[in-house]
Amino acid sequence: MRSVAMRNGIDPDIIALEEESTSTWENLVYSRPLIKECASIVGISDRYHLARIQYLAEIQGWGNLPVYPADNPPNDAFTLRSMLREVAAMLYYMLVSPLV
């Protein structure tokens, strides 16, 4: 996603990437220390994943986190599989997020 930010004019020296997480929930948790001194932040991910990022960010107290899609070329089989995965993941987080 670093390349997406750079293609959109973001100076590579100010891009912070979190690379330890294994889930969207962890990504938001582990990102918080990286952004303490940032004037603004955005989330960049695949288009199908943006709703989950915003939902989990809100639960974790990030407020309305701006998110933008990475411009990945569509692939119908991948897109369908990804969308189904997102529905399952959203249901999971809606049911267990207070416990995570």
Pairing label, strands 43-45, 67-69: parallel
For 32-81, write each residue's pLDDT tens digit.
998 888 888 888 888 888 999 999 999 999 989 999 888 766 666 667 77
Q: CA angle at residue 25 from 100 to 66, to 5 degrees? A: 135
Is the full-model pTM beyond 0.75?
A: no
Instruction: For residue 4, give Cα distances in angstroms to 8, 37, 42, 61, 91.
Output: 6, 22, 12, 26, 29
**What is the reported pLDDT for 75?**
65
pLDDT for 20 beyond 90: yes
Instruction: For residue 41, give Cα distances in angstroms to 23, 30, 62.
Output: 19, 14, 10
**What is the reported pLDDT for 57?**
94
Residue 69 phi, psi dihedral angles, 5° rounding? -80, 140
